[in-house]
Structure formats: structure tokens, C-alpha cells
Structure 1
Amino acid sequence: MNGFPILSLMLAVPLVAGLGCLAVSAKTARTLALAATLINFALGVVLWLNFDIGGAQWQFQQSKQVFAGFDWKLGIDGIALVLIELSVFLMPICILASHAIDKRVGEYMAAFLLMETLMIGVFAAQDLFLFYIFFEAGLIPMYLIIGVWGGAERIYASYKFFLYTLLGSVLMLIAMIWMAQEAGTTDIPTLMAYDFPAAAQKWLWLAFFASFAVKMPMWPVHTWLPDAHVQAPTAGSVILAGVLLKMGGYGFIRFSLPMFPAASGTFAWLVFALSMVAVVYTSLVALVQEDMKKLIAYSSVAHMAIVTAGMFAFNTQGLEGSIMVMLSHGLVSGALFLCVGVIYDRLHTREISRYGGLSINMPKYALFFMLFTMASVGLPGTSGFVGEFLSLAGAYQASSWLAFVTGTGVILGAGYMLYLYRRIAFGEQNNADAAAMPDLNAREWAMLAPIAAAVLWMGVYPESFLAPIRDDVRFIEARLAATRPAGDAQLQLGVPKPMDELAPHGGAH
């Protein structure tokens, strides 16, 4: 694969197909979009098979100057690899889930294909401003998907989504301009090893935090997410929860931790405090929801809080666990939104009370729904267990209080997810229309079965996902450790610990 521009090809395939979708019939647009996403998935498999674990940190690199001060630089490490794989895995499933779209189908497919290009671009970009372009442009297709093909309150939800996520990024752009002038380069790998002045790091960290916290989303800037999920079409919710939320976590790992390590240590208490509030508050809010999509949306905020808690614990288990939670949540939350979409297409309501006893007339559906519910809860043997266990183990090394409070999210998560499943799948069938719904068809099997297989694969053999990211996690740990004088202590929620205790050697195997 040396010299072959596979990353540029993966960016070009959906972009060209998206333009084609604008010029063909609705039926052809569906076929073209599915074909393009399957081709990109095949390219993703090639990327995975040719990635050299234990080799160079940055692989599949290519660089070409577009004009002075702006370079087309692409390349990936293990963390970018697994997130690109998540993106190309979910996109064909999203196209299959879009069968209910019956107006402006060509434009809808083009928006999804454009979004695939931009998502891959975010994870593959190695130039500071190229990253920013991909990061911000990703707002546009999702804004259109919610605003044009969403529910009754779609205009309000789309504007709220756009304004929240855009305003935070203005500060990030200003910080990027300063960084480029200070370091004399816009090359991301170079900047990850550059030591910015300690005083400047705090301001830079806060500027990036304003963008990434909204994108995650972290409490209290999470309120756009439930509205966006409720109003978005099923496939929009899948890709929003599955990939777009992960851009904030990726930003913390790619920028905040390695580029501003001293500031990350200084503000770790803030991240921990927000994470603890988010886990408890949003889990309790999820418990009282009557709309299935809103419940899953609030659960996403709680899961992302476990990500940030593990990430800022500054140790191997926490960092690896946070990435695994992101991957697992991308699969499981996407699958849960698909499960909601399956029954919504039949009954056209998301109200939990309208269902019940679906395990009688839809046993195959109930089986898939149960697997994804258990994965969301963190049942051993599923993808959810691996990431949450590692994240909480890492959090415990930073602070026992942090681990205790975020650990309640596992208990509360079991509460609201099992309560949801009981009301949907079990009980008496009081509604004749729900009792008459048919079980999964072939298209729905094709959507849910691959995710189920991936969830079990990650739960049974997590090493296949941990191995590519391990060296990158160690690099981040080294950057964090190098900024602290010997014997210096870090105060985290009243529990001072030296950095050598916060960053134990050895990964999770």
C-alpha cells in the first residue's frame, strides 16, 4: 500500500457518488449510495488489513501543498483507524435504514455521502486548518438532514444543533491561528510534540474545550442533542450518535491532551466535575422519558461522560477505555436507534406506552433489542463491558470518588434501559395495532445482524481493537508525564497523586 492514496480515494468515492445522486432518479440514487458506501467499507477493510500494528505511528501519509499556508495532508494512527472503520461500517446500514425517505431522495443520499467524506476527513486530516474545514463542514449535511427530512419540530432542532456546535468552534479557529503563528507550522503530528508556553496552554485548552465539549456533548451544553435526535430521521440519529459525537472525544485525544498537557492537568478537575454531574443527572432524566429516542439520547450524554472521565484520568486504562467506550457506543446507540426506527416505521409513534409484549409477535426483533440493551448496560461478553470497565478502572486510579460517582451510571443505566426493554418487549399486549406488527424483514436483518456481530466480537476479543491504539495511547501518556516535574502532584477532586501513579505502565490485554 506504500504510495497508494487510499485515504484520498476514500474521501473521493462518496463525494463523487453524492454528486451522481443529484442527477439520477430516486431508485437509482438509493442504489448508487449503497454501492458507494459498500465500496468505502471494502476500502476500510483494506486499510485495516494493511495497517502495521507496532510500526510507524503515522501511516498511509500523503501531502501536497494546495497554496501557501495550506497543505492537503492526510495520514492516520491507530486511533484514527478505528474511528474511520466505525464510520465506513455504519454508513451502508444508514442507507438501508433510509427506505422511508420518499421526498427529495437524491438530495438526501447526497447529504449522507457528503457527510461520510467529511467524517473520514476529520479523522484523516494532518493539517490544522484542513481538520477545521472537515470538522465544521460536517455540520452542514446533518443540519440539512434534520431540517429537511426531520419531524414536526425539525426547524427548531436543526437551528439549535447548528448554532450550538458552530459557536463553540469560533474560539477554536482563533486558537488555531495563534498556534500556527507560534509554532510556525500547521502540521498536526508536529504540533502534538510541540511545547507551547504554559500560560498560553490554558487559553488554548479552553478555546478547544468550548468546541469539543459541545460536540461530545458534555453537560450543560448537551441540550441540543435530545432535540436533534427526536427530530432527525432514523439514519440521521444513527450517524449522529454513532460518529458525529465521537468527533469531540477524538478532538480531546488529538489536540487537548498531547498539545496542551499542562493545561489538561490543570483543568482535569473541571472535566471530572462535569462528567460526574452528567452521569447522574442525565441518567435520572432518561429514567422518566416517555419518548424512546429521548431516552437513548440522554443515555448518550451519560456514556460520553464516562469517556471524558476515563480520558482525563491520564493513565493507560482510562485512555484505552475511553476509546473503547466511544467505539462501543457508536455501535450500540446506533443499533438502538435502528430498533426504534423498526417499530416506528410500523406504528409511527415513539411513545413507549403504545407498545408492549412485542416479544410475542416480534421475537427476532426482541432478541436483537435485548442484545443491544445488554450491551448498553455493559454486560460482560458485549462491547459495552470492555470500555466501561477500563474507563472506571482508570478513573479509580485518579480518584476513588470519581470512580464511585461515574460508576453509578452503570447502575442507573441498567435501570432505565431494562425498564425501557420491559415496557417494549414484555407485558400484556393492550394495543391491537402493536400486537399485529410483523417481525423483522430481510432488510432489517441486514441492518441489525452486522452490528450484533461487531458488538459480540468487541466484547469477546477486545484485543483486536486495543492493539492498534496501544502505542498511540502510550505516546499521549508520555506527553502528559513529560510536562510534570519529578515528584509533582496533581490534585484531582481532593485526591493528590503523583503523575507516575496516574500513568501506570502496561496496557489492558
Structure 2
Amino acid sequence: MITLLLLIPIIGSLFLVPIKELDSTQVRELVEESEKLKNENRKRLMKQIALITSIVNLIVAIILWIQFDPSTTQYQFVEEYTGLSLYKQVENIEISLPYIHFYVGIDGISIYFVLLTAFITPVCILSNWEDITTKLKYYLISFLILETLQIAVFVVLDLLVFYVFFESVLIPLFLIIGIWGAGIPRIRASFMLFLYTLLGSLWMLLAIMVIYNHYGSTDMQLISLKEIALDSQKWLWLAFFISFAFKTPLFPFHIWLNFAHTSAPLGGSIILAGVILKLATYGYLRILISILPDATNYFSPLVQTIAIISLIYASLATIRQTDIKGVVAYSSVAHMAVVVLGLFSNNIQGIQGAILLSLAHGFVSPALFILVGGVLYHRYHTRTVNYYRGMVLTMPIFTIMFFLFTLFNMGTPLSANFIGEFLSLAGVFQRNPVIAALGATGIFFSACYSIWLYNRIAYGSHSKYIPVTYDISRREFMLLLPLLIATLVLGIFPNIILDTIALSVSTLLYNI
């Protein structure tokens, strides 16, 4: 079942390869109107194939979730490929390559990150349904391959294979931002994303090599049973933490995030905020807390201090932003800092809250990007806050949706963000009330920049710099509606997730 989940996007991308696509220069050179129509039909077919593929993968992920048994701590749907055998026909000699160890499985933690990935990918494809006109085939293939790589990160049970997929997501992201991003800065942004995060992850590769040298294996389950000395754990923990801090991102490793978000196409911003930032969250759970529990307990005060600095710094930086996508990007740093606080709280409330907040951020932040980076930018082609004012007069439905997701971003009751932040801070309070009090300032700061942005865009007299235009389209509304429903359902019924992950989180705490 997991293999099917990984292969469906690849198979869908193969259907796109033989379709011939004409670029805009060729289309202009064509005289006959029928040829232009054929090119449009090709593009429509490619988009439909990509969308159907992502929806089929989402259905498979939902079936996986329905069949999942939350009453056990064992990995489920386990599949293992231990080697690749080649045959030499002349001498009838079998050559085995045993180092190829593809070992996958799902537990109570990884199942929801897989669901989130499968849920966000169709949203990404639909978000740029009309915007991407050049090299459309390669744009869609990049997203389908990216979906497979992201799901693989959440299901692999081998450290080396985890590193391979953890870094492989940078390749399609580099192409998506560099080719289809906005403006000249997109080249710089794509290189910053690639080089910054690749540099940080080299420390993880070194740690994996050390583990393999000492224990002769990179199997996560096997290594978690080993007794690693505290001094060794400390060095390994620092190497992994630096790698994950770049992806979270935490201060001062966050520099690439704002450039990547502001330069990426809408689909790239959605996948960055919705899933890519969650790779580090999963890494903290699967490696630092599970395999290196003593070092995790030792370094928890350090991590909490860094998270508080990231939270306050990012919140103050968000208030100063003039780019509407920059506001949402920096707010992501603040919310992920609260997630880190919960992860290292050393109790079940904090870790459960961190997982729930991480998933809620995966719904709300993409919705805000659709509103400010999609709806507004598509109509007015500017992201400068000062140009917008009085949108409630001409776009009332947009204003209502923007208001709801602004409330969710602030962590108001009846939203999944509220439950996640409350549990995370409650868990931190049990460990250190001072850190919890400082972390709670994020609620105040998020209210400041969220209300300021909403009030600036929605109310006042209509801006003279922007013309009157139409409200959100049916496609844009259907993009926002599933994100709205998911956030409300998890905010009203959080036990849908909390009951499923309780046993897996308890096992993590037992290790600590």
C-alpha cells in the first residue's frame, strides 16, 4: 500500500512526458487558429492528468488512514526491499547489492504527515491552474515527483534513505522557484534555499556515517534499541539538530525562508509552508527524541531558548514587513517556534499539541498564501501592502475568507491552531513556566500583525492605486473551502488526531 502511495505520482508524471507542449514563442508564430487550440487542449489535458493523479493518491492515503490501527505502537503496512540482485548469464553468477535497504512503514505520527502531503498537493496544482503557461509539463512533473519525495521522508525507516529523500526535495523546489518564480530575485532565492539547507544537512550525513561506523546499520528501529553513551549522543544530537534547524527554520538559520516565499510561485509557497517546514518537525520526533533521548533531555533548555528567540524575533520582523507574502512567511517562523517548544516539553500534552499545531499550520498558512499571494497578486500584480485598502467594498467574499483565516492564524478558539498552541504551551508550562510565559507572547504578537494586515487590506476608503475588480472565483473558493473545513473540524474535534497519536507519543516519552 505504501509503495503504491509512492508510485502513483511517478506513474502520473510518466503520462505527462509524451505530451508535446508548444512554448509561447511557437504559438505566436503559428498562423492557424486550430494549432493554438490544439496547444491549449494539450495544456488542459496535462493539468487534468496531474490533478487526477494527486487526487487518486489522496484517496489511497485516506484508505491507508482508515485501515490504520491506533491501538498498537508497531509500524504498520511495513514493506522492505533489502537488496538488488543482478545475474550474469554467461557464468550464472548472482551479484547482490545488500546495501540497498528500502524499508518503509507508518505509525501514529507519520500517518498524518502523509495525509497532509497528499491533501496539499492537489491544492498546489489547482492554485496555479491558470498562471503557469511556459514549460507547464515540467512544472506539473516537478510537483508530482516532489509529492513522492515528501511522502518517502515520512515513511522510510532507514537513516541513510531518510537523508537521501530529506535532501532530494530540494531539487524540484530549486526548479520550481528558479524557473517559475516571480522576478529576477527568484534565481537568488532558489540558490539560497538549495545551498543553505544543503549545507546544514551535511552535518546530518556526517552523523549518519558515524552511526553506521559504530553499529554497522542505519535501521532506525535497530539503532533506537542501542545504548549510546551520553557524550556520543550529544555530538550526534548537535549534528542532527543543526540540519533540522535549517528546515524548521529557527533563528539564525531562517534567512532563506523569506526569499524563497516571496520569489516562489503560489504553488511553491503553499508546498513550502504546508509540508516542507514539517520535514524538520518529523525529524525531531523520529530521530532526536526517539534515537537520542538522553541528549534531547540535556539540550531541551537550549532548544527552548532558541525557539523563544526565534518566536520574538520573527514576530517583530513580521510587523515590519511591507510585502504581504513576507508577512505570512515570517509568521510561519513564529508558529514553528511554538511547535518546537511543544516538541521539547518532555510531556504528552506538549508533543501532541506540537503535532496538531504543525498540521493546523499546514492548512492555515497555505490558505493565507492563496488569499494574499494568489487572489490579490493575480489581480493587481503587486505585493506591497501600502497599495491595498478598502477591499471589503469590492470583494466581500474575499474579505470574509481572509477574516476567518486571520482569526485562525491568531489561534482563536474553534480552530485547530488554538488547540495546538494551548497544548504546546501547557506542556512547556509543566517543564518551565518562564519559557511558557515568553512563548505565550507569540499569541499577542500574532494578533498584532494579523489584525494590522487584515485591517489595512480590508477596510478604509478604496485605494486609488488599484482598480475595481471581481471577487474570488469559484476555483479559488473551492481551494479555500477544504482548508477552512479541515481547520474547523480539527478545532472542534481534535481527538480525531489526538487519540490516534497518543500511543505513539507515549512510546516516545518512554524512551526519554
Q: What TM-score does the superposition give when structure 2 sets the normalisation length? A: 0.91
Cα separation, 1, equivalents of 2:166 and 2:71: 28
Look up the match of 1:106: 137
User: Deviation digits for residues 97-119 of structure 1, max 9, x if unmatched?
Assistant: 01201110000000000100000
Can you list the C-alpha shifts for 1:166-220, whole angstroms capped at 9, x where unaligned? 0111111111122123233222122233321211101100110111000000111
Kept in 2, the 8 Å contact 1:307–1:326? The answer is yes
What is the DSSP-based 3-state SS (H/G/I as helix, E as strand, rest coil) of the residue aligned with 2:128? coil
1:125, distance to aligned residue in structure 2 (A): 0.5
Deviations 1:418-450 (A, max 9, x none): 11011111111023634x121111111110000
Contact 2:351 2:424 in 1 (8 A): yes
RMSD: 1.1
| Residues 142-291 of structure 1 aligned to structure 2 (within 5 Å) | 142-152=173-183, 153-291=185-323
> C-alpha deviations, 1:39-61, integer Å up to 9, x for none?
00111110111111113421110
Letter in 2 for 1:416: Y
Structure 2 contact 387–466 (Cα < 8 Å) conserved: no
* Amino acid in structure 1 at the alignment position of 2:340: T
- The alpha-carbon deviation at position 354 of structure 1 amounts to 1.4
Aligned to 1:126: 157
Output the CA distance in 2 between the equivalents of 1:334 and 1:381: 19
The amino acid that maps onto 1:117 is T
Question: CA deviation digits over 1:437-478, x for unaligned, max 9?
Answer: 211111111100000000100100000011221111101101
Selected match of 1:78 from 104, 108, 114: 108
Stretches of structure 1 that go unaligned for 5 or more consecutive residues are 1-5, 481-509
The residue that corresponds to 1:488 in the other structure is: none
Q: For 2:158 and 2:179, how far apart are their aligned partners in 1?
A: 32
1:29 aligns with 46
Matches of 1:287 and 1:64, distance apart in 2: 50
What TM-score does the superposition give when structure 1 sets the normalisation length?
A: 0.91
Pairing partner for 2:471 from 416, 439, 457:
439
For residue 245 of structure 1, give the secondary structure of its aligned residue in structure 2: helix
Which structure is larger by alpha-carbon Rg, 1 or 2? 2
Q: SS in structure 2 opposite 1:61? A: strand
TM-aligned CA deviation for residue 384 of structure 1: 0.8
Provide the rounded CA distance (Å) in 2 between the counterparts of 1:432 and 1:130: 52
Tell me, in whole angstroms, the C-alpha distance in 1 between the residues paired with 2:169 and 2:504: 25
How many angstroms apart in 1 are the aligned matches of 2:494 and 2:215?
38
Equivalent pair of 2:190/2:260 in contact (CA under 8 Å): yes
1:415 to 430, 448, 456: 448
Q: Secondary structure at 1:78's aligned position in 2?
A: coil
Partner of 1:314: 346
- CA separation in 1, counterparts of 2:108 and 2:480? 26
In the TM superposition, residue 21 of structure 1 has moved relative to its aligned partner by 2.1
Q: Which residue number corresponds to residue 3 of structure 2?
A: 8
- CA–CA distance in structure 2, aligned partners of residues 270 and 459 of structure 1: 31
Give the aligned residue type for 2:121: M
SS of the residue 1:74 aligns to: strand
After TM superposition, the structure 1 stretch with the greater mean CA deviation from structure 2, 250-259 or 179-188, is 179-188
In structure 2, the partner of 1:62 is: 79
SS of aligned partner of 2:461:
coil
CA distance in 2 between counterparts of 1:468 and 1:417 reads 32
Superposition pairs of residues 466-481 of structure 1, within 5 angstroms: 466-480=498-512
Say which of 119, 138, 141 aligns to 2:169.
138
Q: Does the aligned pair in 2 maintain the 1:193–1:479 contact within 8 Å?
A: no
Is 1:379 the counterpart of 2:412 in the alignment?
yes
Q: Quick one: distance in 2 between partners of 1:120 and 1:171?
A: 23
Amino acid at match of 1:247: L
Cα distance between partner residues in 2 of 1:282 and 1:432: 30
Residue 104 of structure 2 aligns to a residue whose secondary structure is strand
1:49 maps onto 2:66 in alignment: yes
Aligned letter for 2:298? T
Q: Which residue of 2 aligns with 1:450?
A: 482
Q: Which residue of 1 aligns with 2:30?
A: none
Q: Secondary structure at the match of 1:428?
A: coil
1:493 corresponds to? none
Are 2:2 and 2:105, in contact at CA under 8 Å, matched by a contact in 1? yes
Q: In the aligned structure 2, how far is the partner of 1:171 from the partner of 1:56?
A: 30
Letter in structure 1 aligned against 2:234: K
Post-superposition CA distance 1:292-317 (Å, at most 9, x none): 11111110111111011111111111
Kindly state the Cα deviation for residue 124 of structure 1 after the two structures are TM-superposed: 0.6
Report the secondary structure of 1:267's partner residue: helix
Structure 2 counterpart SS, 1:69 = coil
**Counterpart amino acid of residue 380 in structure 1:** P
Q: Give, in angstroms, the shift of residue 72 of structure 1.
A: 1.4
Letter aligned with residue 7 of structure 1? I
1:388 aligned partner, one-letter code: E
**SS of residue matched to 2:82:** strand
Q: Distance in 1 between matches of 2:302 and 2:45?
A: 50
Amino acid at match of 1:75: G
Tell me what 1:295 maps to.
Answer: 327
- Asked if 2 retains the 8 angstrom alpha-carbon contact of 1:195 and 1:259, the reply is no
Q: What is the distance in 2 between the residues matched to 1:191 and 1:238?
A: 35
Report if aligned partners of 2:307, 2:337 keep a CA contact under 8 Å in 1.
yes
Displacement of 1:265 in angstroms is: 1.5
Instruction: Look up the equivalent residue of 1:82 and give its one-letter code.
Output: Y
Task: State the match for 1:358 in structure 2.
Answer: 391
Match of 1:344 among 371, 377, 383: 377
User: How big is each residue's C-alpha offset from its partner over 1:269-322, in whole Å with a ceiling of 9 and x where there is no partner?
Assistant: 211111111111110110011101111111011111101111111111111111
- In 1, Cα distance between the equivalents of 2:256 and 2:61? 31
Quote how far apart the aligned CAs of 1:365 are: 1.2
Deviation at 1:346, TM superposition (A): 0.6
Q: Which ranges of 4 or more aligned residues in structure 1 deviate by more than 3 Å?
A: none
Pair 1:314–1:39, CA change in 2 (3 A): same
Query: Per the alignment, in what secondary structure is the counterpart of residue 75 of structure 1?
Result: strand
- 3-state SS of paired residue (2:133): coil
Q: Is the 8 A contact 2:109 2:501 kept in 1?
A: yes
d(CA) in 2 for partners of 1:391 and 1:271? 14
Mean Cα deviation higher: 12-21 or 105-114? 12-21
Total equivalences in the alignment? 474
